[in-house]
């Protein structure tokens, strides 16, 4: 519902008004280079976090225990046999 006193521009008048506008008037142009640089920087930081994340895997069984530590692309494995008697 429109407020009292509001007017509606008919479709044919709207189309005529839009066709008279210059292309640069109808769509504002924004400089997005700073935003793109910031997004790229954040994605690079995210890639570094994923690439260099540290994971620890621990497995304890009746046969013994092993611990594997992954730090980025490096793996270190610790083994302890027969810790349970």
What is the arithmetic mean of pLDDT over 41-46?
94
Tokens describing residue 62: 């009746």
Q: What's the pLDDT at 41?
A: 95
- CB contact set of 65 (below 8 Å; sequence gap of 6+): 58, 59, 79, 80, 83
Q: Is the pTM of this model over 0.75?
A: no
Percent of the chain predicted with pLDDT > 90: 21
Instruction: Please compute the mean of the pLDDT values over residues 1-22 and round it to a whole number.
Output: 86
- Report the C-alpha gap between 64 and 30 in whole angstroms: 63
pLDDT at 81: 63
| Residue 11 DSSP SS3 | helix
Whether the pLDDT of residue 85 is over 60: the answer is: no
Q: What span, in angstroms and rounded, lies between the C-alpha atoms of 36 and 23? A: 25
């Amino acid at each position: 519902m429109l407020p009292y006193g509001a007017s509606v521009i008919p479709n044919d008048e709207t189309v005529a008004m839009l066709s008279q506008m210059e292309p640069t008037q109808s769509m504002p142009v924004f400089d997005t280079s700073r935003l793109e640089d910031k997004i790229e920087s954040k994605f690079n930081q995210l890639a570094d976090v994923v690439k260099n994340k540290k994971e620890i895997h621990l497995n304890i069984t009746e046969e013994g225990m092993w611990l594997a530590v992954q730090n980025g692309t490096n793996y270190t494995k610790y083994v302890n046999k027969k810790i349970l008697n």
